[in-house]
Amino acid sequence: MSLNAKTVRIAGSRPKKKAVSRQNKDNLYARIDESKFNRYVVHDLPRYRKYLSEGGAAIYSADELDALEEAGVSDRLPPRATGYYLDLAKRSDAVKNLIKARPEEMDDLSGEADPSNQLKYSPIPGLLHKYELCLVYVVRTCSSWCRYCYRSDFLTGKTGKDTASIHEVKDYIETHNAKVETGEITDKPKVREVLLSGGDPMVLSNRNLFDYLNGLAEAGVEVIRIGTKEMAFFPERFDDNFFEMLDLFHEVHPNVLVAFMVHFTHADEFLRLNEAGEYVRNERGGYLRNPLVERAATRLKSRPFVTLENQTPIIDGVNDDADALRLMQRELKRMGVNNHYFFQCREIEGFRAFAVPVEKAWKLHAESQHGLSGIERSRFALSTEAGKMEMVSVIDGDERLRALGGELGEALADGLVIFRLHRTPYSDRQSDIVIARRNPDALWISGYEDRILYDGRVHDAGDKWAPLLAALAPALLQAAE
């Protein structure tokens, strides 16, 4: 469905019906306690100036603040951060660059308003159904806002995406799965897995989060992912009351796996830093961890029904360094967190201010795998409309092959890139590949669309070879003569 065909809604307009979710469950919900957190969230430039006047962490100069206001950077995405994360930013350039707004974000606002055309896969408000996994938007905010955020259109309400009602989600999943069982739906499998996203589900209260967890489990979902960066932004959220709620959920639904898709972008977010921003080591030379983060991770991984997975994009000025990526993967695994994905920065509006070219990002990731064990390694992928495309290889060209002439000679001389469709909505295209001529300046898959030689994203086998046949046409014609 097109963007224009969608009804624009405002935050909180979905029918939540908490009373229905909690009907006849007073004893259950009575066992869930809430915590009052003071995250000291600093939101937008006027509030940040006030925060500074009260002795807060300074990551902008007065001139920088003036430049941001003049550029109108808040129109794209208002700056937002917790006091905890701002204090960390004083000691870490990587952390600072993650949340620090830049005037150049407004220099070029080209990009996708709705990244990867997500609304095309939204059968009901607040739910995306692209794979066997569904994504559900549960809240329209995070404790801090990364400048590269590919959900910025949802956070700001620019594309009309809304938070989901668990009752609508539950009804959709149950109806879909029933139709799969009866053979009425044959092009998609049953929904086994759901990702709770937003925003960050961990900013919800324990009872509100339990509403979604419990509703999904009642709908027959076997794996619930919680996409969160709260362990980096505000690890104190993982307190006794939260774990008691999590254990209660497991008591009620013992067969449901809960996967926390944590979002560490740099090791500075979870290793211990001294005031000079240097890592603190133990007597054996090992890295000490931030005690708040380590406590949260330890308590999560102590539960056999919980798994921890990390995924993050590679961002200019934050983690665009092979040694930093290698250290992060190694130390995350030691902390009990699996390395899932590294992503290319999505083509959102303003992405040119912080995106690393695709081929450079691939090379950084490939170099970061050197010295890692098999269980420490990760994938590098682009999350596109066609699905998650793992970048498999960048092949150097050979200038001698330019003598072949035509588009094929140019491609072989310049070199090739190869993507694999690691995850796709279409079963007949799973694990197919895309081969394109190199483009060192490309920041997204769009930078290769006019250079493709073989396109496994298309359905018809003949169409997959069409670009290569077109490139070979002059030679074929000459041979026919």
Residue 1 has pLDDT above 50, yes or no: no
Percent of the chain's residues with pLDDT above 90:
83
Element housing 183 (H / E): none
> Rounded to the nearest 5 degrees, what angle is found at the Cα of 224, between the Cα atoms of 184 and 373?
115
Match 């330890």 to its residue by tokens. Answer: 298
Tell me how far CA of residue 279 lies from CA of 170, 274, 300, 453, in angstroms.
46, 7, 24, 47
Q: How, if at all, do strands 452-455 and 433-437 pair? A: antiparallel
State residue 204's pLDDT score.
96
pLDDT of the residue at 12: 55
**φ, ψ (nearest 5 deg) of residue 253:** -130, 75
Is the pLDDT assigned to residue 8 strictly greater than 70?
no
In the chain, what are the domain boundaries?
3-38+108-356, 388-480
Token reading at 71 = 């550029």
As a whole number, mean pLDDT of residues 234-259 equals 98
pLDDT value at 16 more than 70: no
Tell me the whole-structure pTM to 2 decimals. Answer: 0.93
Please write the tens of the pLDDT for every residue from 354-390.
999 999 999 999 999 999 999 999 999 999 999 999 9
Q: What pLDDT sits at residue 5?
A: 40
**Beta partners for 124?**
127
In the chain, how long is the greatest CA-to-CA distance?
Answer: 85
Q: Cis peptide before 199, with omega less than 30 degrees from 0?
A: yes
Condensed to tens digits (0 to 9), the pLDDT of residues 128-173 reads 999 889 999 999 999 999 999 999 999 988 888 999 999 999 999 9
> Cα separation of 203 and 141, whole Å?
8
Q: Of 5-9, 179-183, 239-243, 344-348, where does mean pLDDT reach its minimum?
A: 5-9
Residue percentage of the chain with pLDDT more than 70: 95
pLDDT in tens, 47-105: 999 999 999 999 999 999 999 999 999 999 999 999 999 999 999 999 999 999 999 99
- What CA–CA distances, in Å, run from 168 to 17, 43, 58, 124, 202? 10, 32, 44, 8, 21
Picking from 400, 430, 432, 431, the residue whose alpha carbon sits closest to that of residue 415 is 400
DSSP 381: E
Burial environment of residue 216 by CB neighbours within 10 A (0 to 12, 13 to 18, 19 or more) = buried
CATH superfamily of 3-38+108-356: Aldolase class I (3.20.20.70)
**Using 50, 70 and 90 to split pLDDT, how confident is the model at 4?**
very low
| pLDDT per position as a tens digit, 402-449 | 988 888 889 999 999 999 999 998 888 999 999 999 999 999 999 999
